[in-house]
Chains A and B, each alone.
Chain A
Amino acid sequence: MTSQRTDTSIAERAARSVWVGILRLAAAFGVPIVAFIILFLTFQFLRDSEAPKLVLALVAIVVGVGGVFLLFWAMDFAVSQLSERVQERVRPYVFVGPALVILSVFLVYPAINTTVLSFKDATSTSFVGLDNYKFVFSDPAMLRSIRNTVGWVIIIPLFTVGVGLGFATLVDRLQRGEAVAKSLIFLPMAISFVGASIVWRFVYSFRPEGFGNQIGLLNGVMVSLDKQPVAWLQDQPWNNLLLMVVMVWLQTGFAMVILSAAIKAVPDDILEAARIDGAREFQVFWRVIVPSIMSTIIVVTTTMVINAMKIFDIIWVMTNGQNGTEVIAERMLRWFFKFNDNGKGAAIAVVLFVAVIPIMVLNVRRFQAEEAIR
């Protein structure tokens, strides 16, 4: 009698747990699906609605910001319905999944596309083997651009990180005025590219003698010193350095802000301990601050190296690649969009892409080493 009752209760419990399982599964799929439907409806509203601009803009902001949180929450909710062992396996992919999907569509797919194009001719109709790559390593302008890019890759990180780190450290000790000083270095980053190109025209501009007043600051200085005005941006090879000055001016703010955040994260007690032990400020900098923010320094340097490899807009606007100022990315865009040769443009892009792989491998090694310690 008793055993029979337990049997039925076991059966009941089993039936109930099946129901709970089904409900959980329904929730696991249902919540994300509902989230997607909500997002899709608002997306359609934004696309087709005739509502006033202000309303549309507000709805867009709310949907864009809220949507991304909703998606992550819904996916995590779905995963939480699974059994605990499965959860641990699936959750990492919920976290990295959206990033990987977006990257595949927006960067991996175009990169593959480009690689295929690099083996085809100008109009991408027939395959030409390695011809485009032979061009990359034999054309005189290409070789000059490779030489110049190497220069950019050395100089830009050196100065942006050097000045940024020094400035962030110095300013960190100011009792007041830190925010103002930092924002003045940061200021160039807030100027749109059109603005920046004008700013530097007011510095480098050149008019031959007898063709009106100089409106470029450098030549204004030359004239006031009773010297001949100089055509700064035509003066090889120094014009390359002058273009790099613009990049340093623009990007030091980036390095400075990131490094400054890292310096702030160095615990106060460590710095105090070092000072109490009699370390001078210079020693505190080299022995305490620099080692504790080393990983950030490397990250910022790597970012700057990559930015320098990709640089083209400064050259494009200021010298148009004339007078020996070619760089690799500028060549790539020129072949793609000006000479309409997809094959050569793509081959140059692939060379640029391959050149960065060693840097990334070094970075991962370092991350792995760090993880081994922690």
Chain B
Amino acid sequence: MTTTTARIESRGLFKRLFQRTPSKLAIIIITLLWLIPTLGLLISSFRNPNLVKTSGWWTVLPHLFDKAEWTLANYRDVLSSQGFGNSFLNSLAVSIPATVIPITVAAFAAYAFAWMDFKGRQWLFVAVVGLMVVPLQMALIPILSLYSRGGHFMGITIFPDLKLNGTYMAVWLAHTGFGLPLAVYLLRNYIGSLPSSTIESAKIDGANHFTIFWRLIIPLSVPALASFTIFQFLWVWNDFLVALVFLGGTQEVRVITQALAELNGTRGEAWHLLTSGAFITMVLPLAVFFSLQRYFVRGLTAGSVKG
């Protein structure tokens, strides 16, 4: 560590600036490009509904401090609309288990696919990952009928009728099914790339697979688990279709995206409500991202192997 610091310090200030500037410039350009569309959304969400439809959002830039341009009414409208708090709770009750369940199930499976020996391991893995292409829309109707009528084959009940429709459980399981292939794929790649020496030495010390998994693999896989947690949470949080099909659209059970769509449906082309609503629903996913961000730490693997 000290050698690198010394080397960096030994370079001239001018040279350092010259080397750093292009990469910083590239970062700034890419970030701006990515930001511009969202900026349009953000500005529009604070503008007068009529202005949004009659002039471009960038026209406010010259007179940013003109009070006539801005309004908080859009946000007030969205937040005060019926049952918004209720659907926020529903979204949480759907999203948190629908994130934790698939990741747990996938982590166990990924460990087995990477480090355990059993018959059909490779082909089962191909099958699991191949299922990534089954489009979600394709699966909705067959599963809905499984939920409401159970599964029967030649008079034998294979899948009992659990009256799952309209329950949180129905949505959790559906999201787990749709999220699993990618989760298994990503986690198996990460867990499989952990140093085999670590696992072998734990085995020699007499640890069984369950202990190795909990005490060794899970702590070592934190960066991969954290990144997948973010994505799964986002998908579930922003999902509209799965919740609509399995939970139903009544005010009692609807999730936040449904509440927003409802707002749009009853109020015509209410772009001002959708823009502000879109920002409100973004707050929680971004909070999740920021709080998990710190788990992407350099050298996590290297450090624990040495320890």
Contacts and interface: CB of A to CB of B under 8 A. Distances in A.
Interface of A: 43, 46-47, 53-54, 56-57, 60-61, 63-65, 67-69, 72, 76, 80, 87, 89, 91-93, 95-96, 98-100, 102-103, 105-111, 113-114, 163, 166-167, 170-171, 173-174, 179, 181-195, 198-200, 202-203, 212-217, 220, 249, 252, 254, 257-258, 260-261, 264-265, 267-269, 272, 275-276, 281, 295-296, 299, 302-303, 306, 309-310, 312, 329, 332-333, 336-337, 349, 352-353, 355-357, 360-361, 363-364, 367-368, 370-371, 374
B85 to A, nearest CB: 9
Nearest to B130: A360
A193 B238 CA distance: 7
A192 B257 contact: yes
Contacts of A54: 89
A361 B126 CA distance: 7
B156 interface: no
B245 interface: no
A277 to B, nearest CB: 12
Contact of A309 (B131, B133, B184, B209): B133
Interface of B: 1, 3-4, 7, 19, 23-24, 26-27, 30-31, 34-38, 40-41, 44, 52-59, 86, 89-90, 92-93, 96-98, 100-101, 104-106, 108-109, 111-113, 116-118, 121-122, 124-135, 137-139, 142-143, 146, 151, 159, 163, 167-169, 172-174, 176-178, 180-182, 184-186, 188-190, 192-193, 196, 208-210, 213, 223-224, 226-227, 230-231, 234, 238, 240, 257, 260-261, 264, 271, 274-275, 277-279, 281-282, 285-286, 289-290, 293, 296-302
Given A99-B184, A100-B124, A276-B3, A106 B173 contact: yes
Contacts of B193: 295, 370
14 contacts: A57-B90, A64-B98, A64-B169, A183-B286, A183-B293, A195-B281, A199-B38, A252-B34, A257-B227, A265-B300, A267-B299, A275-B4, A355-B133, A360-B129
Given A46-B169, A95-B109, 6 more contacts: A57-B93, A60-B97, A170-B26, A187-B38, A202-B44, A363-B129
A215 B52 CA distance: 8
Contacts of A252: 34
What does DSSP make chain A's interface, helix, strand, loop or mixed?
A: helix
Given A170-B27, A220-B56, A64 B101 contact: yes
A58 B253 CA distance: 15
B35 A184 contact: yes
Contacts of A213: 54-56, 59
Contact of A60 (B93, B135, B142, B173): B93
What does DSSP make chain B's interface, helix, strand, loop or mixed?
A: helix
B257 to A, nearest CB: 6
Nearest to B38: A187
Contact of A107 (B57, B139, B185): B139
Nearest to B41: A199
Contacts of A295: 189, 193
B125 A194 contact: no
Contact of B128 (A103, A109, A200, A265): A103
3 residue pairs, one from A and one from B, having the closest CB atoms:
A64-B97, A106-B177, A195-B278
A183 B122 CA distance: 36
Given A91-B209, A95-B109, A195 B275 contact: yes
Contact of A95 (B34, B112, B190, B230): B112
Given A203-B40, A269-B302, A310-B135, A174 B27 contact: yes
A10 to B, nearest CB: 30
A53 B296 CA distance: 35
B146 A185 contact: no
A184 B93 contact: no
Contacts of B57: 202, 215, 217
Contact of B113 (A96, A299, A352): A96
B215 to A, nearest CB: 13
B88 to A, nearest CB: 9
A362 B196 CA distance: 23
